[in-house]
Structure 1
Amino acid sequence: MTSWMEVHATPFGGDLHFHYMIEGELVRIAVTHSCLRDVFGSDGSDHGDQDALQFNVVEILFMAISKSHATTQRPIVLTAADFEVRHQHRRSRLG
């Protein structure tokens, strides 16, 4: 199952890269393979990474936009650490 929104990502160096318009700027966003595996449950395959990205695209874009406001560094690289606090909070509420 995918999200209602879809991005077209390209594998590059083991990570997935895509472009997204943020406040009038076309920004390249990279989501690391380890982030897709450790945070979003990818099985580690290329297909698993693509599925994890598509299923969680809204959360990934939310983090990318937040990170773009905090830095001028491009591309925006999202790692598991970017989502760690958010997911720890979610786990503590659930269990």
Structure 2
Amino acid sequence: MFYLPEAFLSKTPGSGVDVYVEDTTDRGRADLTAIVIDKVYIFEIKMESEGDPIKQIKEKKYHEKYMNYPEIYGIGIIIDKENKTVKDIIWEKLK
């Protein structure tokens, strides 16, 4: 797919951020999950024609395994199909 999750992972050693690439749940895999102290950030990366990444996070309930954390955010990264750059970043507080 894209190398964005791996690029993010390479920047986090020693930062105190726990990062999980292809974070598995019983309904699928989130592209990347980052836990920073007491906040969880679930990332889904989509080409612009593939649909709403936040909708996928909610429908597949990627956030449910982190309900013990006080704050959870879904972050969608939308990639421009033609030039393969980030077209938009959207987010929603899930808890």
| TM-score higher than 0.5 | no
TM-score (norm 2): 0.31
Q: Which has the larger helix fraction?
A: 1
Q: Which has the larger strand fraction?
A: 2
